[in-house]
Amino acid sequence: MTTNNQALVIKSPQSFNKESVPIHPEVKENNARVKVEFGGICGSDLSVYKGVISHARYPVVMGHELYGEVAEADKHHLFTKGQKVVVQPNIACGECDLCRKGKKNICRHKVSLGVTDNGGFSNYVDVPVTNLLVVPDDMDGKLAVLAEPLAVVVHAFRKISIEEGESVAVIGCGTEGMLSSILANLLGGEVNAVDINQEKLDMMKRFQDIHSGSPSILEEEYDHVIEAAGTPPSVEQAFDIVKPGGNVVIIGITDGDVHFPARKIVRSDATVFGSIIYDFPKDFQRAFDFLKNYPDMFTPIISKIYPFSDYEAAFETALSGRVGKVLLDFNEEE
């Protein structure tokens, strides 16, 4: 029986603390209990911290990019104790019109762990078995944490087809931008990645086959433009630089007003896609394929790993905007 459960609870914007959170003595029907080993700090975690997500719930246990071990199996033994798993942190209702069409990623009543319901920056988290996926054998747990954010990019890239030698512009070199640049490169694209943050550009120098620089380097038109910065100027630049017949895929999220050049998009027969999260489990399985086959490409995205006890330093680092993925290590927490 699980007794001790320390969790990172945010009670209001910019007010969080590690504290003891009760956990039910028995795992609910159709759930399994996961002992969390690593968790990734995501941009949405930072937005919850800042208080800029209007639908976020407070107080809430933070965290949704999670890797761990099954501590208590579900009653139907779909998972077994000791299995290494990752968590798909968006729980669809399964009943709305969009869910019935198979579009659970845009469920009208979606519950998001760490945002609208308790997440998994804790020693243990109970998760529906429908939202767990076994990690491939021998995959490092720190790398497996990247499956969730990489699945976002995998899903977005399903909307387009990058052919060998086609030009790809990636606007924004945060985690999703770096993942987009790497994936586009692996698929054969000639990738130019841009950001206004020099520290992010310095990280991109590790990837020798990807050209990176400030937004001013994007002086031509591109077959595919991936917008991953989530600002009005970056979205507008994406529209400006797409080739006739090309594609714009918008992954970044902005609440700001964006000028849409309808005449250009129509007359150039360009296609604009919005993309949000993923289809589970197929996008996670595809993400695992890339992580397993190209670990050396993805590992550099992880910049810092902090023990759970140093959560304040971890968030301070992540909030600085000068690093890639920051992980919390729960392995020494009991």
CB atoms within 10 A of CB 332: 8
Per-residue model confidence (pLDDT) at position 212: 98
Domains located in the chain, CATH noted: 6-151+278-329 (3.90.180.10), 160-274 (3.40.50.720)
Q: What is the pLDDT of residue 334?
A: 52
Cα gap 144→68, rounded to integer Å: 10
Distance between CA 6 and CA 36 in Å, rounded?
11
| Order of strands across the sheet that contains 271-274 | 211-213, 190-194, 167-171, 222-227, 242-250, 271-274
Helix (H) or strand (E) holding 167: strand 167-171
CB of 74 within 8 A of CB of 31?
Answer: yes
CA distance 69 to 141: 10
pLDDT per residue as tens, the chain (334 positions): 556 899 999 999 999 999 999 998 899 999 999 999 999 999 999 999 999 999 999 999 999 999 999 999 988 889 999 999 999 999 999 999 999 999 999 999 999 999 999 999 999 999 999 999 999 999 999 999 999 999 999 999 999 999 999 999 999 999 999 999 999 999 999 999 999 999 999 999 999 999 999 999 999 999 999 999 999 999 999 999 999 999 999 999 999 999 999 999 999 999 999 999 999 999 999 999 999 999 999 999 999 999 999 999 999 999 999 999 999 999 975 5
Distance CA 248, CA 261 (A): 13
Average pLDDT taken over every residue of the chain:
96
CA–CA dist 304, 325 (Å, integer): 7
**Largest Cα–Cα separation, the chain:** 64
pLDDT, tens digit (0-9, with 9 covering 90-100), for 267-304? 999 999 999 999 999 999 999 999 999 999 999 999 99
Which residue type occupies 187?
A: L
Residue 167: C-alpha distances to residues 66, 80, 150, 163, 222 (Å): 34, 45, 21, 9, 5
**Measured between alpha carbons, how far is residue 215 from residues 17, 54, 137 in Å?**
38, 30, 40
Q: Is 129 helix (H, G, I), strand (E, B) or coil?
A: helix
